[in-house]
A and B are shown apart, each in its own frame.
Chain A
Amino acid sequence: MKQIEKALRRPITGIFISIFMGLIVGAVVLAIAGYNPVAAYGAMLRGVFSKPKYMVQVLIRCTPLILTGLSISFAFKTGMFNIGAEGQAIIGMVTAVVVGYCVPLPPGIHFIVVAVASMTAAALWGAAVGLLKSRFGIHEVISGIMLNWIALYLNNYMIGMAWLKKPQTEASYEVLESSWIVMLQNWKTSTAGREWLLDGSHPILSDVLIKTDLNYGIFIAIAAAAVIWFILNRTTKGYEMRAVGAGSEAARFAGIRVDRNIVQSLAIAGALAGLAGAIVITGAMPHRITTLTAQPGYGFDGISVALMANTSPLGVIASALLFSGLQYGGSAIQAELGAPSEIINIVIGTIIFFIAMSGAFKMLADYLEKRRGRTDVQ
């Protein structure tokens, strides 16, 4: 009994129970709709794990989500809801295309310049939200949402520019190959590489390298998570920001500049989302921006990822993997059973719902303890 109570108090237990509950609810909905839940989840698992290239696809999809999830987690730790990550990611993508297409540079260096430019632009985009909040008291959710739309239309406006628009398309030109971070890009497209990959003796490698855009982005994202964890927990800046987030009045009393920290925190959050945008462009096809009719969702999915990770910077890596795995595998449900893949959104929504009420697990622990306590007394 005591072990159960103890376990219920750990945040990680709440997350696992939530995931489990999400899958249960998804199964119930599937059953009601007349599909076999076991077959559906089986299809989902096969959709992720049956081939190496599927797993790689999940990795590619989760890379920007790690970064936007980090962006939102970081802002949460400093007491703010960076719903503007969506727009910051778009700004990162637009900047990446402009710098990646217009500024020819040697491979390697080119990506670094693109990434720095994207992060800077998106950091300014985020800092604007911070300034509006600290100067004029405008809530970051309001200004964040508005800036998301401004970013979207800026994206469309840029595609309207003759120097950037690829004729006969609704998209920009592709960025130069020198800025790409696709793994072994030169070798796998060379004659020697193709021959080696296609001679049939390396099925896994050829599957992964030829059929996917496996890129270095995942390493960058993991490194970013480690850096953010370090900043938050090991530096004076991180301490300040956490103090502002957990008790802004107490921080102000202790001489910490609250307004400045709000701006800085949103700038860092913006830079992370901007980096996500840069990796989307340089990491995988189609290496360009297209005219947007709706928000692409990197930032919004990042909110789900951050919540599933309980806003832990390192937890974001795992939750982004889970999120992308569910989404990618979920499409297999539709392909195999004809069940709508939206079922996965129900699963994800339920998981977040249960995580949001993880206080209930603590209450359950309290209740168990109380019951035990009372029997001890009587």
Chain B
Amino acid sequence: MSPAAEKDYAVQMRGISKYFGAFCALNNVQLSVEKGSIHALLGENGAGKSTLMNILYGLYQADTGEIIINGQRENIKNPNTAIKLGIGMVHQHFMLVEPFTVTQNIMLGMEKTRFGGIMDEAATRVEVQELSQRYGLYIDPDAKVEDISVGMQQRVEILKALYRGAEILILDEPTAVLTPQEIGELIHIMRKLAEDGKTIIIITHKLGEIKQSADYCTIIRRGVYIDTVDVQQVDETQLASMMVGREVKLTVQKEAAHPGPAVLDIQDLTVEDSRGIDRVRKLSLQVHAGEILGIAGIDGNGQKELIEAIMNMVPAKTGKILVQGKEIQNHAPADTLDAGVSTIPEDRHKHGLVLDFTVAENFVIENFKKVPYSSRGILNLKEIRSHADELIEKFDVRPAGCAPNPVRGLSGGNQQKLIIAREVDNNPHVLIAVQPTRGLDVGAIEYVHKALIEARDQGKAVLLVSLELDEIMDVSDRIAVIYNGTIVDILEAAGADENHIGLLMAGGKKE
């Protein structure tokens, strides 16, 4: 890179180190962001990219290093200092007051007043409209936040930062919650902001978006600075290798499916939520042995309720769920298991694991009552241990020999491996995987996808629910699009068009 003097840098971070206890989250990391550019910060989960940005935004203090904003050395003690310096951050989880309007949310904390105390909402409203028009945000200033889409809420957050005078905008995983169309629009908005001289830093681990939107990319791996590259000069595979530190295959390798008879048959299923609103409406779906059926959809369109009804965690209002011809709806959760349905749940900490139990104990949580793990009510600790050791080795759960350790201490990827090992070892007829790669890094994602395809090749019916459309497209054999509680279309994955699916997910009509 050329020396600092030649270029106009909005942000320079030099020699940043940060420790959490004994853990070194960042080790002598540097970052230089040119004014008016879009700069991606790439790294796996836990690489330290969010930590670095939290330091820039004043949420954490660096243990060593210096921060230079617009050529001025600054000590950013807290977010207020950051905001004064023109730094704004849009978090992954939005910080909005839902029953308030867009304008009210934007003015929150810095309300304009007249006559010493009377709130002047109209003045803010005008400003919001101006900003919205200038950057093509198309926001209705009077809409209530709870009534607008997630994509719009994100724009409100961006607007909020701009309203506070942000010249440097940090976006934390901005595309995680968006549909493909919304992602396109967001990239367009980011371009406009950059043209206007704003500096944008996006935290992400999605390579495609970096290629589409960013000018430069800084890669961090396990808290260590790897490189800063001109995005035009590299391809996605190179970026992935720099991020992970080894060669990775970005596409999923699989043979053609050989589907058998329908194993899971859902007929006219309706499920209501705790408030009595129908979340799944007359949904019908068949999953065949030897295929992976992916359910594509935006969060909150009934995926959760559908899976919970299959698992018998919530009752089915009407309709049937058949596993190999046997009805299982409105039974106990244990009956779903007994019918041969195993689930890799979405929330592995809450639903998949007892965190304070040991690895060995977690391996038998569904089968502890069965021989050889117990007999006549007495546990057979030796068998439970050797069962765990066997699965740990077979499924490469790390660290090796972790059977007596609490599961809490395992990394997210290894916790997920444990769950997969347990559910696959049940030898089920139907394997359900809900967001199985959420929060996992590239290496672990590769592993999970392989495991699902292996289960398919062994003749199991695999039902994959994911909010990541890329994952659905890569792994599934057939894709069912869910919208508003019903399956709006089922397509062959081979040759499916991402934009078409995106449109269906958003409630668009079938062609």
A contact residues vs B (CB 8 Å cutoff): 233-237, 239-240, 242-243, 246-247, 249-257, 366, 369-370, 373-374, 377
Q: A247 to B354, Cβ gap below 8 A?
A: yes
A240: B residues at CB distance < 8 A: 368
- Further pairs besides A247-B350, A374-B19: 17, Cβ < 8 Å: A234-B381, A235-B379, A236-B369, A236-B377, A236-B378, A243-B357, A247-B354, A250-B365, A252-B313, A253-B313, A253-B345, A254-B333, A255-B334, A255-B337, A257-B332, A369-B21, A370-B22
Q: Which residue of A lies closest to B375 (CB)?
A: A236
A235: B residues at CB distance < 8 A: 374, 377-379
Beta-carbon contacts of B54-66 to A below 8 Å, as 1s and 0s? 0000000001000
Q: A250 to B378, Cβ gap below 8 A?
A: no
Q: B313 to A236, Cβ gap below 8 A?
A: no
Q: If A235-B378, A243-B365, A373-B19 touch, does A249 touch B351 (CB 8 Å cutoff)?
A: yes
Q: How far is the CB of B93 from chain A (nearest CB, A)?
A: 21
Contact of A250 among B332, B352, B369, B377 (CB under 8 A): B352
B contact residues vs A (CB 8 Å cutoff): 19, 21-22, 24, 63, 311, 313, 332-334, 336-337, 343, 345, 350-357, 361, 365-366, 368-369, 374, 377-379, 381
Expressed in whole angstroms, the Cα–Cα distance for A202 and B226 within the complex equals: 83
Expressed in whole angstroms, the Cα–Cα distance for A295 and B346 within the complex equals: 48
Contact of B368 among A239, A246, A369, A374 (CB under 8 A): A239
Q: B354 to A246, Cβ gap below 8 A?
A: yes
B351: A residues at CB distance < 8 A: 249-250, 253
Q: B355 to A255, Cβ gap below 8 A?
A: no
Task: List 29 interface pairs A-B (beta carbons < 8 Å), by A numbering.
Answer: A233-B379, A235-B379, A236-B377, A236-B379, A237-B377, A243-B354, A246-B354, A246-B355, A246-B357, A247-B354, A247-B357, A249-B350, A250-B353, A250-B354, A252-B313, A252-B333, A253-B313, A253-B345, A253-B351, A254-B366, A255-B337, A255-B366, A257-B334, A366-B22, A369-B22, A370-B21, A373-B22, A373-B24, A377-B24
Q: B332 to A251, Cβ gap below 8 A?
A: no
B343: A residues at CB distance < 8 A: 253
Q: Which residue of A lies closest to B312 (CB)?
A: A255
Q: A253 to B21, Cβ gap below 8 A?
A: no
Expressed in whole angstroms, the Cα–Cα distance for A377 and B334 within the complex equals: 52
Q: If A235-B379, A236-B374, A253-B313 touch, does A246 touch B350 (CB 8 Å cutoff)?
A: no
**What is the predominant secondary structure among interface residues of chain A facing chain B?**
helix
Expressed in whole angstroms, the Cα–Cα distance for A257 and B369 within the complex equals: 13
Expressed in whole angstroms, the Cα–Cα distance for A249 and B354 within the complex equals: 9
Expressed in whole angstroms, the Cα–Cα distance for A256 and B351 within the complex equals: 12
Expressed in whole angstroms, the Cα–Cα distance for A234 and B356 within the complex equals: 17
Expressed in whole angstroms, the Cα–Cα distance for A256 and B366 within the complex equals: 8
A369: B residues at CB distance < 8 A: 21-22
Question: What 6 A-B pairs are tightest by C-beta distance, nearest first?
Answer: A255-B334, A247-B354, A254-B365, A246-B356, A373-B22, A366-B21
Q: B355 to A247, Cβ gap below 8 A?
A: yes
What is the count of residue pairs linking A and B with beta-carbon distances less than 8 angstroms? 80
Q: If A243-B354, A366-B22, A370-B22 touch, does A253 touch B379 (CB 8 Å cutoff)?
A: no
Q: B378 to A253, Cβ gap below 8 A?
A: no
Q: B352 to A253, Cβ gap below 8 A?
A: yes
Q: How far is the CB of A365 from chain B (nearest CB, A)?
A: 9
Q: B374 to A250, Cβ gap below 8 A?
A: no
Q: Which residue of B lies closest to A237 (CB)?
A: B377
Q: If A251-B365, A370-B21 touch, does A234 touch B313 (CB 8 Å cutoff)?
A: no
B365: A residues at CB distance < 8 A: 243, 250-251, 254, 256
Q: Which residue of A lies closest to B354 (CB)?
A: A247
Q: Which residue of A lies closest to B17 (CB)?
A: A377
Expressed in whole angstroms, the Cα–Cα distance for A370 and B21 within the complex equals: 5
Q: A255 to B333, Cβ gap below 8 A?
A: yes
B334: A residues at CB distance < 8 A: 255-257
Q: Which residue of A lies closest to B381 (CB)?
A: A234
Q: How far is the CB of B314 from chain A (nearest CB, A)?
A: 11
Expressed in whole angstroms, the Cα–Cα distance for A5 and B333 within the complex equals: 44
Expressed in whole angstroms, the Cα–Cα distance for A257 and B22 within the complex equals: 41
B357: A residues at CB distance < 8 A: 242-243, 246-247
A374: B residues at CB distance < 8 A: 19, 63
B336: A residues at CB distance < 8 A: 255
A256: B residues at CB distance < 8 A: 334, 365
A253: B residues at CB distance < 8 A: 311, 313, 333, 343, 345, 351-352
Q: Which residue of B lies closest to A252 (CB)?
A: B333
Expressed in whole angstroms, the Cα–Cα distance for A373 and B336 within the complex equals: 50
A237: B residues at CB distance < 8 A: 377
Q: How far is the CB of B365 from chain A (nearest CB, A)?
A: 4
Q: How far is the CB of A252 from chain B (nearest CB, A)?
A: 6
Q: A250 to B350, Cβ gap below 8 A?
A: yes
A234: B residues at CB distance < 8 A: 378-379, 381
B19: A residues at CB distance < 8 A: 370, 373-374
B332: A residues at CB distance < 8 A: 255, 257
B333: A residues at CB distance < 8 A: 252-255
Q: How far is the CB of A37 from chain B (nearest CB, A)?
A: 37
Q: How far is the CB of B41 from chain A (nearest CB, A)?
A: 24
Contact of A247 among B311, B356, B379 (CB under 8 A): B356
Q: Which residue of A lies closest to B379 (CB)?
A: A234
Q: A239 to B379, Cβ gap below 8 A?
A: yes
Q: How far is the CB of B435 from chain A (nearest CB, A)?
A: 15
B345: A residues at CB distance < 8 A: 253
Expressed in whole angstroms, the Cα–Cα distance for A246 and B351 within the complex equals: 12
Expressed in whole angstroms, the Cα–Cα distance for A249 and B336 within the complex equals: 16
Expressed in whole angstroms, the Cα–Cα distance for A260 and B378 within the complex equals: 19
B337: A residues at CB distance < 8 A: 254-255
Expressed in whole angstroms, the Cα–Cα distance for A376 and B313 within the complex equals: 51
Expressed in whole angstroms, the Cα–Cα distance for A237 and B350 within the complex equals: 21
A247: B residues at CB distance < 8 A: 350, 353-357
Q: Which residue of A lies closest to B63 (CB)?
A: A374
Q: Which residue of B lies closest to A258 (CB)?
A: B333
